[in-house]
Amino acid sequence: MSAIVCAGDEFISADLLARALAEAGVDAEFRRIDSRWPTEPFAAFDGVREAAGDPARLAELVRGADALVTHLAPLTAEVLAAGRGSLRVVGVTRGGPVNVDVAAATAAGALVVHLPGRNLGAVAEFCIGTMICAMRGLPAAASELAAGQWDAAGFRYERTGLELRAATVGLVGLGAVGLRVAELLRAFGSTVLAHDPYASAEAAQRVGVRLVALPELLSGSDVVSVHARLTPETKQMIDAGALDAMRPGAVLVNTARGELVDTRAVDAALESGKLRAAVLDVFDPEPPAPDDPLLRRPNVFATPHLAGASRQVAEESAARIAAEVATVLSGGTPGNCANPEVTGTRTVEPWSSS
């Protein structure tokens, strides 16, 4: 019988992973362990990041195991070396396996499978909902009412905002999440622009998006929503110059990575009135400093990296990774693999850090 380590947490538990594997037809001894994320924050470990758990304990559990399935466990070189000779596959319920030392997994002979776009539905719905809230000034109005202040001046013309059907929305990045956001915006009747040097023209046309250069997107959009991958080229791509190029009174939404946006420049743009509002679900660093002035602005809708949090994400991610692991254990080729050179399998889609 196979032995599989299920390393869960308080979002995707070891029990949920084991149940998904059993439902996928995997007959195995399940070795379960859970970290306390998100109650305790994730951290960087030896060569991996955004990880939670005890590498030494994982190394003990992985000895003799055929597979390891996880969400955030720190799969360091130490952990993966302990699985050398038995470990065939590592399954990660994330868009990109940033918590895995992929080189060490390759050296151990283990495929690393993952789930690009695993939370695209949750993130896309979050984007649409918060765009509406930010354009209409709803977070500040709700906060004022909770504090006992009835502000009927929100009906004054100069304080009202756009409806999505009248707005032009610019998407910086048109990957899986960006495409889903575009589909939802199309239903509202929005005009949608996108900038992505790697986007498929056919996919953009299918969802009614016009691909443009970044300067045209910035100057032509009422809402700019960031969905780019973090690379050396995209780091702080939304800087003071980009913000200055945006329409006066525009809204900025960032659910991708905090490092894509210069938050000090955003603070200045909000102070000057250049930006009407900002929606920030991601920060650099995370968590942001408690005294960060940006968080206290009434026209900032800030959330603690929750855009991808839904029950569907947890349950469907467990089911999808279980199917991938079952495929590998039965001798098949996985759909998304970070190190196909291990067996010559083909990567269908490059992994991202989302």
Question: For residue 193, what are its two tokens?
Answer: 């622009």
Q: How far apart are CA 335 and CA 329, in angstroms?
A: 13
User: Domain check: are 101 and 136 in the same one?
Assistant: no
Q: State the CATH number of the domain containing residue 28.
A: 3.40.50.720
Q: How far is 179 from 203, CA to CA, in rounded Å?
A: 8
pLDDT digits (tens, 9 = 90+) for 59-72: 999 999 999 999 99
Is the same domain home to 17 and 145? no
Q: What's the rounded mean pLDDT across residues 120-124?
A: 96
- In a shared domain, residues 281 and 153: yes
Q: Is residue 178 part of a domain?
A: yes
Please list, residue by residue across 137-156, b when 16 or more beta carbons sit within 10 angstroms of its beta carbon and e when fewer do.
bbbbbeeeeeeeeeeeeeee
The band of 159, judged by pLDDT with boundaries at 50, 70 and 90, is very high
My answer on whether 159 and 80 are in the same domain is no
Q: What is the pLDDT of residue 1?
A: 74
114 flagged as catalytic = no
Are 319 and 192 members of one domain?
no
Distance, CA of 291 to CA of 163 (rounded, Å): 33
Provide the residue range defining the domain that includes 80.
Answer: 2-118+310-342
**pLDDT of 35:** 98
Give the integer Cα–Cα distance in Å for 68 and 84.
12
Look at strands 89-92 and 111-113 and give their pairing: parallel
- If asked whether residues 86 and 153 sit together in one domain, one would say no
- The number of domains in the chain is 2
* Cα 320 versus chain centre, distance: 17
Say what the pTM is.
Answer: 0.88
Q: How would you classify the pairing of strands 111-113 and 209-211?
A: unpaired
Whether pLDDT at 298 is above 70: yes
How confident is residue 346, by pLDDT bands cut at 50, 70 and 90? very low
User: What is the C-alpha separation between 329 and 345, in angstroms, rounded?
Assistant: 14
Q: 272 lies in a domain?
A: yes
Indicate if 296 and 154 belong to the same structural domain. yes
Distances (CA, A) of 317 to 20, 120, 139, 269, 310: 9, 11, 31, 38, 11
Show contacts of 102-105: CB within 8 Å, 24+ apart. 102/338, 102/339, 104/47, 104/75, 104/76, 104/77, 104/80, 105/75, 105/80, 105/339, 105/342
For residues 261 and 47, what is the distance between their CA atoms, to the nearest angstrom? 25
Q: Are strands 275-280 and 250-254 parallel, antiparallel or unpaired?
A: parallel
- In whole angstroms, give the CA distance from residue 16 to residue 140: 38
Residues 106 and 127 in one domain: no
Which DSSP letter does residue 231 get?
-
Place 347 in a pLDDT band, splitting at 50, 70 and 90. Answer: very low
Mean pLDDT of the chain: 94
Does 350 fall in a domain?
no
Return the ∠ at Cα 134 (arms to 128 and 135), rounded to 5°.
90
Which residue is catalytic, options 125, 183, 305, 349? 305
Active site residue 94: no
Tell me the three state secondary structure of residue 284: coil
132 and 274 in a single domain? The answer is yes
Same domain, 208 and 232: yes
pLDDT at 349: 39
Measure the CA–CA gap between 256 and 243, rounded to whole angstroms. 17
Is residue 56 domain-shared with residue 140, that is, in the same domain? no
29 assigned to active site: no
User: Which listed residue (23, 40, 286, 341) is catalytic?
Assistant: 286
Which helix or strand (DSSP H or E) is residue 192 part of?
A: strand 191-195
Strands 89-92 and 223-226: unpaired
Rg (CA), the chain: 22
**Which is nearest to 204 in space by CA: 228, 165, 174, 167?**
174
Active site residue: 71, 114, 257, 320, which one? 257
Summarize the confidence of residues 236-258 as an average pLDDT: 97
Q: Are residues 212 and 289 in the same domain?
A: yes
Query: Is residue 274 in a domain?
Result: yes
Position 350 pLDDT exceeds 50: no
Q: Is the separation of the CB atoms in 161 and 276 below 8 Å?
A: yes
Has residue 2 got a pLDDT over 90?
A: no
In the block, which residue shows the tokens 């083909």?
Answer: 346
Banded pLDDT at 352 (limits 50, 70, 90): very low
Within a domain: residue 354?
A: no
Does residue 255 fall inside a structural domain?
A: yes
One-letter identity of residue 317: S
pLDDT tens, position by position, 78-114 = 999 999 999 999 999 998 999 999 999 999 999 999 9
